[in-house]
Chains A and B, each alone.
Chain A
Amino acid sequence: MPVQRLAIPERLYLPISGVDSLTASIGDRVIGGQQLTNSAPGNSAIWHAPVAGRLVEVVDHPAPHVSGQSVPTLVLEPDGSDEMVDYTALGWSGVSFEELFAVVEAAGIIGMGGAGFPTCLKLSGAGSGMLSTLIINGVECEPEISCDDMLMREQSDKVVAATAKLAALLQVDKAYIAVEDDCPQALSRLAASIQSVKEIAVSAIELVKLPIRYPSGSEKQLIENLLGKQVPKGGFPSDIGVLCLNVATLCAVDDAVTQGIPLMSRIVTVTGDAVAKPQNRRVLFGTAVADLLSSCGGLIAEVDDLVMGGPMMGFALSSPLTPIVKTSNCILVQRAPVLGKRRPIMPCIRCGDCVDVCPAGLLPQQLYWFAKSGEHDKAERHNLFDCIECGACAYVCPSQLPLVHYYRVAKSEIRTQWAQLIKADGARERMQARDERLERREQEAAERRLRKRSQRKISTDNAEPPMSAEVKAAMARAKKLQQAGASETSEKSVLADKSTTPTESARD
């Protein structure tokens, strides 16, 4: 069954917490494809109106984020018209590397595999001619997700053509399209497309069939699987000459280059045993999860959580009104397990099964101890921050320990400590500056005093500084007056003395 477009919902919710400013006002009518927000350069957090309609308001609305908090959200009420911006496109043949960067940024394209890294930044890290390898990631990031599989099945020609064009533009030596071996249809379609497109393609495209081994859809793991090279710690794939794009991201880039269409919708997998009709749907950004679920037949069982993302790395939503955004690849609804059937959490027996599955080469059992006991320095020494939270360790754990949860908590505690440290550093710097300022003032005052004293000393040394005749005369006059005044005041003081001691005289 082909991927169907979801009917336009009554309201679309576009979270705008990361954007700089709105380019349209509340109450305005906007048309499909019209840019709604600005963002900082290179951020790509740009929203385009997915359809024509009216901007109703900005409200606090549940965000598609692990925190489940509400963030300022732009509400768009579609009016049913299909009026759209008149798109202008450069086309692959007309676009230069620098223009590609601008096109991708303006189209609001970010990584659609789940991480949401701005695609223009990936390109900028590359630089024309600096890359040797282009990898198109068709490996589903998690089990149960099939949106990329569907995309490759339905648009294999587009995927292959775009790969060839991009590879030619970036002047890479080699382009790979990586697909897992449980997607036979996607593999055969892509293989056929490569055959048919090869005549026009400049560079060689290799279709790679990978065995299923979670998390091979993760960028760094995929690169290691394909090339046998690791991205350096703290670095980017471009450091080893690789650009890796999710297949949906590639299609978005292709749309932007060949048709000028910005990113306004995506394919979302709706899955789990609690939804009536699990399927893939093309969904406009801003569509509430509730609307998507009801279009899939609704829920047929009680669920603990609405999960956005896959079963391994997804997060529970705080509300069914949470919108689908650019990174929302999957909605997972599983039946709540019967209470007695929940397996108990047992102590860690250090079996080490987690070590064998950790794609980051960590010691999850040790990190668990350190996270649990708050030994943050040891956790960092054991590379806690290299954990990609893929959940493989918790999946295999015979003690059912919620390992990833512990790592998340420990990471956030450490980050808070850092922030406090930085804050404390700031306070210390301010204190130091204050002390220095006071000291400087003291010193200046002391210097002033010293200067004055030395000036006075100079003035007393030259007892009679040279004076003009008028000044001398004036001073003489003043002296006279002073003497006269002095005699008056002395009389007064005598009187005053008398008046203040009457009783004494009376006693005499």
Chain B
Amino acid sequence: MASGPHSSPYLHGSATVSRVMFTVLVALVPVVAAYFWLWGVSILSQLALAAITALIAEATILVLRKLPVRVALLDGSALVTALLLALCLPPSAPPWVVVIGVLFAIVVAKHLYGGLGYNLFNPAMAGYLVVLIAFPAQLTLWPVPDMYDIGAEAGVVVDSTTMATPLDRLRTGRLQGKPAAEAMAASPLLGIFPNGVTTILALAWTAGGLLLLATRTIHWRIPLALLLSLGLFAGICGWLNPTDHAGWLFHLFSGGTMAAAFFIATDPVSAATTPRGQIIYAAGIGLLIYLIRGWGGYPDGVAFAVLLMNIAAPLIDYFTIPRAYGE
């Protein structure tokens, strides 16, 4: 693409889009490591499949759209989308599920909306929702980790190779009229965190998120507002009705909360862009996650919550124009 017109400023900082994207990729390392530790090498092939599918889809669309291929492939945005999506899927997901999800994310959610910078929806979440709705069976059951003591999980393991997530158990329990405490108590980690495997993943996402904050790749507004909002609503409901509600710690360290707070909701393209707007946007996601988890038809509500707030983002921006100097 062309270089800029000869006009000020004549100085430029070192920031580039690809640096932003590759920092995100580096921040995903703890998450990949956690998957690897829990489920072994299968996650690597899943990531590779997602990445290759994304790059081929991106290149094909760029050729069709008669846009320069090299620059866009090197910007890393397609890789970020693909890897975020792959890390939302269970490691046991069939390859065709991965391919369909990534194709939808890159081709429809990203390029049919205009490509990088123009997409209304978070591409990874849009792709994830398509496969979640289309193939719920393949996406809701997670394999029992290799190193996991199946005996400890005897009460909740569905069969010898797969298990339900804590949020699944919470929802099933709710539908069966069981108290929330049962679902929570099933798999404590270190005696502190309410549920085992997903908490390890949540901590890995948090570690990556802190890296993003430390490198100033993301701003604190969105993660903090999302976690505070979800924690607040979960805390209030848990305090009012501890039998039916799981409490704030459970919700913060379950499902996709940490991934959403640091990696998904912070996607700048589809998020609100004004400082106040970002706080409203993220708080809205937190509230929606809690509403969907508590009363919705799916055990986790992260992807729906993000997409719903994506729709609201332009409106939020419109009403939160900051005060200009001297106004």
Interface check B37, CB cutoff 8 A: no
Question: Across the interface, which residues of B come within 8 angstroms of A344, CB to CB?
Answer: 1, 3, 71
Question: Across the interface, which residues of B come within 8 angstroms of A314, CB to CB?
Answer: 8, 10
Chain A residue nearest to B74 (CB atoms) is A344
Q: How far is the CA of A96 from the CA of B327 in the complex (A)?
A: 35
CB pair A398–B10 under 8 Å, yes or no, is no
Interface check B297, CB cutoff 8 A: no
Q: How far is the CA of A349 from the CA of B18 in the complex (A)?
A: 11
The secondary-structure label for the interface of chain A is loop
- Which single member of A234, A347, A394, A401 contacts B326 (CB below 8 Å)? A234
How many chain B residues sit at the interface, stated as a range, is: 35 or more
CB pair A349–B268 under 8 Å, yes or no, is yes
Interface check B324, CB cutoff 8 A: yes
Q: In the assembled complex, how far is the CB of residue B14 from the closest CB belonging to chain A, in whole angstroms?
A: 9
Interface check B118, CB cutoff 8 A: yes
CB pair B10–A307 under 8 Å, yes or no, is yes
Q: Which of A320-360 contact B (CB under 8 A)?
A: 332, 334, 342-353, 355-356, 359-360
CB pair B321–A381 under 8 Å, yes or no, is yes
Interface check A2, CB cutoff 8 A: no
- Which single member of A360, A400, A408 contacts B16 (CB below 8 Å)? A400
Question: Across the interface, which residues of B come within 8 angstroms of A234, CB to CB?
Answer: 326
Q: How far is the CA of A332 from the CA of B9 in the complex (A)?
A: 12
Q: In the assembled complex, how far is the CB of residue A221 from the closest CB belonging to chain B, in whole angstroms?
A: 8
- Contact segment of B96-104, B152-160, B249-257, B269-277: B269-277
- The contact string, 1 if C-beta is below 8 Å from chain B, for chain A 197-220, is 000000000000000000000001
Interface check A366, CB cutoff 8 A: yes
Q: How far is the CA of A317 from the CA of B21 in the complex (A)?
A: 37
Interface check B300, CB cutoff 8 A: no
CB pair A405–B7 under 8 Å, yes or no, is yes
CB pair B317–A405 under 8 Å, yes or no, is no
Question: Across the interface, which residues of B come within 8 angstroms of A276, CB to CB?
Answer: none
The answer to whether residues A351 and B8 also contact, given A365-B273, A396-B13, A398-B17 and a CB cut-off of 8 A, is no
Interface check A14, CB cutoff 8 A: no
Q: How far is the CA of A496 from the CA of B268 in the complex (A)?
A: 104
- Contact segment of A97-105, A164-172, A225-233, A455-463: A225-233
CB pair B326–A316 under 8 Å, yes or no, is no
CB pair B5–A366 under 8 Å, yes or no, is no
The answer to whether residues A312 and B11 also contact, given A232-B326, A233-B325 and a CB cut-off of 8 A, is yes
- The contact string, 1 if C-beta is below 8 Å from chain B, for chain A 380-410, is 0111001001010011111111101100100
- The contact string, 1 if C-beta is below 8 Å from chain A, for chain B 12-34, is 11011101100000000000000
Q: How far is the CA of A389 from the CA of B9 in the complex (A)?
A: 9
The answer to whether residues A363 and B15 also contact, given A316-B7, A351-B268 and a CB cut-off of 8 A, is no
Interface check B4, CB cutoff 8 A: yes
Interface check A57, CB cutoff 8 A: no
Chain B residue nearest to A357 (CB atoms) is B13
Question: Across the interface, which residues of B come within 8 angstroms of A405, CB to CB?
Answer: 4-5, 7
Question: Across the interface, which residues of A come within 8 angstroms of B178, CB to CB?
Answer: none
Question: Across the interface, which residues of B come within 8 angstroms of A353, CB to CB?
Answer: 15
- Which single member of A304, A347, A360 contacts B325 (CB below 8 Å)? A360
Q: In the assembled complex, how far is the CB of residue B9 from the closest CB belonging to chain A, in whole angstroms?
A: 3
CB pair B5–A361 under 8 Å, yes or no, is no
Q: How far is the CA of A230 from the CA of B323 in the complex (A)?
A: 12
CB pair B1–A230 under 8 Å, yes or no, is no
Chain B residue nearest to A351 (CB atoms) is B268
Q: How far is the CA of A51 from the CA of B9 in the complex (A)?
A: 35
CB pair A391–B8 under 8 Å, yes or no, is yes
CB pair B327–A350 under 8 Å, yes or no, is no
CB pair A349–B325 under 8 Å, yes or no, is no
Question: Across the interface, which residues of A come within 8 angstroms of B275, CB to CB?
Answer: 352, 355
Interface CB pairs A-B, < 8 A, 9: A232-B326, A309-B8, A351-B268, A352-B275, A355-B275, A363-B321, A366-B273, A381-B321, A399-B17
Chain B interface residues toward A at CB < 8 A: 1-13, 15-17, 19-20, 71, 75, 77, 115-118, 219, 268-269, 271, 273-275, 278, 317, 321-327
The 9 closest A-B pairs by CB, nearest first: A347-B117, A391-B9, A402-B4, A233-B326, A398-B15, A311-B11, A383-B324, A342-B3, A311-B10
Q: What would 5 more interface pairs be, CB under 8 Å, given A311-B10, A383-B324? A: A316-B7, A345-B4, A346-B117, A395-B13, A401-B4
